[in-house]
A and B are shown apart, each in its own frame.
Chain A
Amino acid sequence: MSRKSSDVYMVSGGVTKFRKADPSRDFRLRVKEAFDYALNDINLTVSDIDGSVSCYFSDHFMRQVMAGAMVQDYLGLNPKPSKRLEGGGATGGLALQSGYEEIASGRMGVCAVLGFETMSQVNTWKGNEFIALASDTDFDYPVGGFYTGYYAMMARRHMYEFGTTVEQFAMVSVKNHANAMHNRFAQSPMKLTVEDVRNSPMVSTPLTRLDICNMSDGAAVAILASEEKAFEICDHPVRISGIGGGTDTMRLSDRPFGEVPLLPNEKKSDYSGLRYPGVHSFRAGRMAAIEAYNAAGITDPSDEIDIVEAYDSYSSAELQAYEDLGLCKYGEGGSFIEEGKALLGGKIPVNPSGGLIGAGHAIGATGVMQSVFLFWQLQHSIKKHFGSEKAQVSNARKGIVHTHAGTGTYEAVTAMEAVR
């Protein structure tokens, strides 16, 4: 791909270790830790930053509105431009793209994307309630009121359509908990078996406790720069080669039954008889992938992508993402994990960092965290940051970050590419 003057690069990143509860400091100080980590990694100072995009999911968790402005203030970024972006679970992924737009438009030369969430101030059940308020509160919330329930119904339908098994979902959990053991920022490193996952308490059939990520307190920061700035301030910038977004109905019940939007390497006949997306697949993820791949010049994701940081809020959601992202065809997600293709050392390692299941889920920080982990992979600097090179994907040159909101209501896919 030829470089355009509007090319955007990621030049640094920082992440706090995600924790179930981190009350010794507030969200501002957590963002500061991640921000300082990112600045120090390439010897930047606050004065090098032209502006920011801040992001967190819910005002309910802290009952602090305009928390983004407080972060801007605390970091010493006033009076530069900033805004807060929110998009459910895709918040961080969307904010990264908003930062991309700040650079691509020429408005900023260096932009900080500041993601954070403090989820520990309410109990887990109240947290589930706040998250469920991101479903239609007239029709869905009063009936289910529980995101795991919504995703469980999607997982169940995927099993029915394609023969996917609960053991295949569990393999995703085993993989991501294991990968997290090589990541010092991760919340839930664990050595597990498929039996452990299946024997953990049932939350919403068929998903057990270990099929589901944890809520976290955490922050993550990505620094983006124009081409001109990137090579001046960073020895190993990573190019953001494409951004993509997709949407779908807020209510799962409204999803249509139509045709699969095809990737360049797919044919209509691959999916004859499949009614799409129904509730088995995520059309928004497919649309986001198509847009990002077009921009990045990727025509066969199953062959060209070396690494994926995918949104595994549930083990089932990661397996479904393999298909939405075109790592394999629809219906092949189960065999993709079972044959080891998503493992570290596999054909396309997915979530070598541990993902949300292994590393934790501080909603607004999550997409930014995933982006930072992918950035370090493409920089081949995992050993420096994780303290171990076991998670480094040796051939990592092209990768994608994938984030979800709702039941795939907003999705964001961002493609990145190593340039040195």
Chain B
Amino acid sequence: MTTNPKARIEEIEGSRVVTNVDPLIVKEHYEINYLHSYGQDSEFFRQLGKGKLMGSRCRKCEYVYATPRGHCMFCGSETQWHELPLEGKIHTYTTCYSGSESFLNEVPFHLVMVEFEGVNSLFMGRLIGADEEDIEIGMKVKVKFRRNLQFSATDVYFVPDAP
């Protein structure tokens, strides 16, 4: 064992940026990778690649969910996959001119909630192919799928139905 009273910590050419001196403010960067599992909802995302929009149907009370869930929120029973129609109607909508940092390069974009015939709940998605002033509640829309799958809920989107 040796001791070294002259030991010096290594100097770093750091990437930390001082943005203010008093109070002292430094800029720090942070990023992370997640290995995110879709768990029991995996089939929904896989089926988007086959051009199918899968909701859920309760095995017991037969309530049909446009956005899938493994168990029924009313009776707690397990659900089964239920293929949704590929056309629906706008229940409500908005056009976002601002948003979160990750989406700023996509604005403006239209968000819609869609109702389907014979389905009890709604589905949220993006609408393309329409100007803000063309969109209205009750408007018929068609379901479309991204060809190059991102395995994200944005693999499904809506366009206006032909008039």
Spell out A's residues near B (CB within 8 Å).
Answer: 23-25, 63, 123, 125-126, 128-129, 132, 138-140, 142-146, 148-149, 152-154, 156-157, 160, 201-206, 249, 251-257, 278-279
CB-defined contacts of A254 to chain B, threshold 8 Å: 65, 67, 69, 73, 121-122
Interface residues of B in 84-104 (CB under 8 A from A): 91-104
Interface residues of B in 40-84 (CB under 8 A from A): 41, 65-67, 69, 73
Is A253 a contact of B97 with CB atoms below 8 Å?
no
Ordered by A's residue number, 20 sampled pairs between the chains whose C-beta atoms are within 8 Å are A23-B20, A23-B23, A23-B25, A126-B101, A132-B100, A140-B153, A143-B111, A143-B126, A145-B103, A152-B96, A153-B112, A202-B97, A203-B97, A249-B73, A251-B124, A252-B122, A252-B124, A253-B66, A253-B67, A254-B121
CB-defined contacts of B154 to chain A, threshold 8 Å: 142-143
Is B102 a contact of A145 with CB atoms below 8 Å?
yes
How many residues on chain B are close to A (CB under 8 Å)? 40
CA gap between A160 and B135 in the complex, in Å: 13
Q: A148-B96, A153-B94, A203-B97 are in contact. Are A257 and B124 (CB under 8 A)?
A: no
Q: Which of B67, B100, B103, B121 is packed against the most chain A CB atoms within 10 Å? A: B100
CA gap between A252 and B120 in the complex, in Å: 13
CA gap between A19 and B11 in the complex, in Å: 38
CB-defined contacts of A201 to chain B, threshold 8 Å: 97
Q: How far is the CB of B156 from chain A (nearest CB, A)?
A: 9
Q: A128-B99, A145-B100 are in contact. Are A204 and B73 (CB under 8 A)?
A: no
Q: A154-B92, A254-B121 are in contact. Are A204 and B38 (CB under 8 A)?
A: no
CB-defined contacts of B25 to chain A, threshold 8 Å: 23
Is B153 a contact of A138 with CB atoms below 8 Å?
yes
Is B93 a contact of A156 with CB atoms below 8 Å?
yes
Q: How far is the CB of B88 from chain A (nearest CB, A)?
A: 12
Is A255 a contact of B121 with CB atoms below 8 Å?
yes
CA gap between A44 and B100 in the complex, in Å: 44
Task: Name A146's contact: one of B96, B113, B122, B132 (CB within 8 Å).
Answer: B96
Is A126 a contact of B121 with CB atoms below 8 Å?
no
Q: How far is the CB of A23 from chain B (nearest CB, A)?
A: 5
CA gap between A77 and B82 in the complex, in Å: 55
Q: How far is the CB of A121 from chain B (nearest CB, A)?
A: 9
Q: How far is the CB of A127 from chain B (nearest CB, A)?
A: 9
Task: Name A128's contact: one of B97, B100, B111, B120 (CB within 8 Å).
Answer: B100
Task: Name A129's contact: one of B23, B73, B101 (CB within 8 Å).
Answer: B101
Task: Name B93's contact: one of A63, A126, A153, A249 (CB within 8 Å).
Answer: A153
Is B23 a contact of A24 with CB atoms below 8 Å?
yes
CB-defined contacts of B153 to chain A, threshold 8 Å: 138-140, 142-143
Is A125 a contact of B101 with CB atoms below 8 Å?
yes
Q: How far is the CB of A160 from chain B (nearest CB, A)?
A: 5
B149 at the interface (CB under 8 A from A): no
Q: Which of B25, B125, B132, B153 is packed against the most chain A CB atoms within 10 Å? A: B153
Q: A128-B101, A129-B100, A129-B101 are in contact. Are A144 and B95 (CB under 8 A)?
A: no
CA gap between A253 and B125 in the complex, in Å: 10
10 further A-B contacts with Cβ under 8 Å, apart from A143-B124, A255-B122, are A63-B30, A125-B99, A138-B38, A138-B41, A143-B125, A149-B94, A153-B92, A205-B94, A255-B121, A279-B91
